[in-house]
Structure 1
Amino acid sequence: MKLTVILEPSEEGGYTVYVPSLPGCISEGDSKEEALLNIKEAIELYLEPVEDDMDYGPDSEIAEVAL
């Protein structure tokens, strides 16, 4: 999976990076390389299912889709 990320220089130094297609998925780093490594981890955590998300109703159906 490939996602577009936006790197912006931070006023305090370093970079802020976010993923427009994943609202709220944001990270930062002292260098571009560090910011990109950090956003990869943030994306993985953002997309990781949480146990609370697994609480389905009795009529729910589970399906998978490929990206």
Structure 2
Amino acid sequence: MQYPIVIYPCEEGGYVAEVSALKGCLAQGETLDEVLNELKIVTDLWMETAEKYGQKLPDVADSIEKMKALSN
């Protein structure tokens, strides 16, 4: 599944990226490549944990619509 992500530059340098549809799913890195690689790892772990505990994953289409609404 591909959820929308948001990337923020940090004042002290580097970046923070999050999958806002997945509560608490965020990562930090010094470069864009690093933050995206870290976010992939965190997202995979988030999904594994959700599956382990039987949590339903948010709908990707709903997540995209929410992001579009926020950007308008």
TM-score by length of 2: 0.66
The ranges of structure 1 where at least 4 consecutive aligned residues each deviate by more than 6 angstroms after the TM superposition are none
CA deviation digits over 1:1-55, x for unaligned, max 9? 21111000011100000111101101010001100000000000001037x727x
Kindly report the root-mean-square deviation, in angstroms, between the aligned alpha carbons of the 2 structures.
Answer: 2.0
Structure 1 counterpart SS, 2:27: strand
- Give the residue type in structure 2 aligned to 1:27: A
Q: Residue 41 of structure 1 corresponds to which residue in structure 2?
A: 41
TM-score by length of 1: 0.71
Flag structure 1 segments of 5+ consecutive residues without an equivalent.
55-66
Counterpart CA distance in 2 for 1:31 and 1:49 is 27
Flag structure 2 segments of 5+ consecutive residues without an equivalent.
55-59, 61-72
Counterpart CA distance in 2 for 1:29 and 1:2 is 20
How many residue pairs match? The answer is 54
